[in-house]
Chain A
Amino acid sequence: MSRVAAETVEQVRSLGDRYKYGFVTDIESEQAPKGLNEDIVRFISAIKDEPEWLLEWRLEAFRHWQTMTEPNWAKLGIPMIDYQDAYYYSAPKQKEGPKSLDEVDPELLATYDKLGIPLREQEMLAGVAVDAVFDSVSVATTFKAKLEEHGVIFCPISEAVQNHPELVRKYLGSVVPYTDNFFATLNSAVFTDGSFVFVPKGVRCPMELSTYFRINAANTGQFERTLIIAEDSSYVSYLEGCTAPMRDEHQLHAAVVELVALDDAEIKYSTVQNWYPGDENGVGGIFNFVTKRGACIGARSKISWTQVETGSAITWKYPSCMLHGADSVGEFYSIAITNNYQQADTGTKMVHMGPRSRSRVISKGISAGRASNAYRGLVKMLPGAASARNYTQCDSLLIGSKCGAHTFPYIESQNRSARVEHEATTSKIDDDQLFYCRQRGIGEEEAVALIVNGFCREVLQQLPMEFAVEAQKLVGISLEGSVG
């Protein structure tokens, strides 16, 4: 950890530009016509050659969506989104899907290289398999064969629909029904790709799985759908990363992630979200409206969410755990950093149903510039949650005097033996700490990165080693320009 932190600070320093992922790949793409209607939904389903039941599901979702209005309860100022003025499908043009990594368009490989995600297996981080999603489609998945040896399925969800329809049909929408909320419903109608993971009974997935999402095309929404199923006594650790080019228009990212953990299974889901945040005047940036939910169906099952949210103009997400199983465990570790004009309203929902279910929430919110950062968390103890426990700790750090931090804890308990604990703190970055660092020769920005990384340590420690460095670097980069 300490080695990593020191390296990070060095890397932060060496990274000159603020958002180095802002380039555009010049690649020919195939797009559905602009706008959103039933024909577009049918188009997406047809191009993916989907079975009838899935098209029907999409259409039901679309019809339901038309009856809904955008949520407005979050502490966010969301400009009007014109849903007809966007493309809902965009894919790099290729004759057929690549059969192997050798057939992937070199331009795409180069893009991922530039993003620091080499897709050639021999160059990859040892022990990490990657599914690369570019705009609306998955362009490459590495280490598939190796995973298959262990019975682990890791593939684009569009492929899973073809090859494992029974699994997809059983679990898709089982955790987040298509009626769930405005953005999840929209996603259900128009989702294009995403990852599918299935870990069979008793298998400990031999490597980290990771999906790398990249929005490239202009005016294109990204609607990916991820489904992870961990059967009895299995374990999987999964990480998603995301970036997008710098563009002056806002772009919508409305993903849905569903996790299912059966008896004694454990899923660890980590996110390093670095969508383009917009410029320092608040122009452009991604709207990140995401529904993530895990169901701890089985007894003693465990789902752990770790998120590092540094990007996006607006972030709206509440990774949640539905704790059905007896003795099941839900965890949420979050770092949300907002700078300049970024807004974040994020948190979690822990819904306890099983007896002795436990949950733990550690949230670190950091605001700088004119940004606003809200933690919103619900802890619900249902009648079945005898002796259930929750611990929530929510710390906010402010840098400068024009930003804001807010905490909205909601607690509902219907079981008298359940215990809920909530602690919250708000502090400013400490002048004494800053001066101490600077006296030792550490420049102001590096000092802020160091102190903030320290503030976030409890959460950073939860990330898989391979990604901790990246995340710490991001913490520093996203705060550049926040002091002085």
Chain B
Amino acid sequence: MLEIRDLHASVEGQAILNGVDLSVGPGEVHAVMGPNGSGKSTLSYVLSGREGYAVDRGEVLYDGRDLLELEPEERAAAGLFLAFQYPVEIPGVGTMTFLRTALNALRRGRGEDELDAMQFLRVVRQKARALGIGDDMLKRALNVGFSGGEKKRNEMLQLAILEPRLAILDETDSGLDIDALKVVAEGVNALRSPDRAMLIITHYQRLLDHIVPDRVHVLAKGRILRSGGSELALELEEKGYGEIMGEAA
């Protein structure tokens, strides 16, 4: 489903990714771990098409298509979703309005009918309840004044509503309390399906207690330095990245 081959990328002339290889099949959940500043968010931005992230070498195929030549909104329409590490505040734009605009834009892209206000409200209410998000939060401007945890939950709500085929979660678990962490994990597990793939960037094994990944990768120094099964995360928790980094040096 997603094929990343020898991906090199730079920001403002500075090389960040130095040959990433990664392959994710449909229905799979992969975890990406790695030290701060190793390029995890950069990888998520390159995949979602953010301006300013230059691809210097390599290719990314999504369902066999060249992902890198698509505009960000085209990638979204093709089913790619990024839960941001730092969700953005948009003053004056109601959360509901934003969600509905996004969903209808995607539905148009897929040739589906747009949802009217009532239909939409029903969808949102139901999914919001499952994530413990109240009506008052939906009425507020998007992410404005939301606590860190609320912002992350809001990312999860968008994920649930937009139902992407490839979801990248960039540290969605950071800043969550224990209960919220469970809610998020349940949300992710509920979305697991044979035709949906997920790339979960995290620093913590505890998330992976709830969401058992098919594969775990260590991204360090701009490359995947080690890959393994879910037990790799446990090993990292114990030993840290030192050994792997050492091997690479």
Contacts and interface: CB of A to CB of B under 8 A. Distances in A.
A49 interface: no
Contacts, number: 101
A443 B77 CA distance: 10
Interface in A199-238: none
B97 A438 contact: no
Q: Could you say which of A1, A3, A431, A456 has the most chain B C-beta atoms within 10 Å of its C-beta?
A: A3
Interface in A1-50: 1-3, 5-6, 9-10
Contacts of A455: 91-92
Give the contact-size bracket for chain B. 35 or more
Contacts of A9: 101
Contacts of B89: 433
Interface stretch (A124-132, A347-355, A445-453): A445-453
Interface in B95-112: 96-98, 100-102, 104-106, 109
Contacts of B77: 441
A458 interface: yes
B87 interface: yes
A170 interface: no
A10 B90 contact: no
Contact of B100 (A6, A457, A458): A6
Interface string A275-309: 00000000000000000000000000000000000
Nearest to A456: B92
B56 interface: no
B65 interface: no
A213 B30 CA distance: 61
A431 B52 CA distance: 10
A436 B100 contact: no
A442 interface: yes
Interface string A411-448: 00000000000000000001111011111111110100
Contacts of B91: 454-455, 457
B93 A454 contact: yes
Main secondary structure of the interface of B (DSSP, over half): helix
A439 B92 contact: no
A9 B117 CA distance: 13
B167 to A, nearest CB: 12
Given A2-B97, A440-B162, A446 B105 contact: yes
A137 to B, nearest CB: 40
A138 B67 CA distance: 58
A438 B93 CA distance: 15
Nearest to B78: A441
Interface residues of A, number: 30
Nearest to A459: B92
B84 interface: yes
A9 B91 CA distance: 16
Contacts of B96: 2, 6
A442 B92 contact: no
A432 B45 CA distance: 11
A459 to B, nearest CB: 10
A450 B93 CA distance: 7
9 contacts: A2-B100, A3-B117, A6-B96, A9-B101, A438-B71, A438-B73, A440-B102, A442-B73, A453-B92
Interface of A: 1-3, 5-6, 9-10, 430-433, 435-444, 446, 450-451, 453-458
7 A-B pairs with the lowest CB-CB distances in the bound complex, closest first: A454-B92, A457-B92, A454-B93, A441-B76, A440-B102, A2-B94, A438-B72
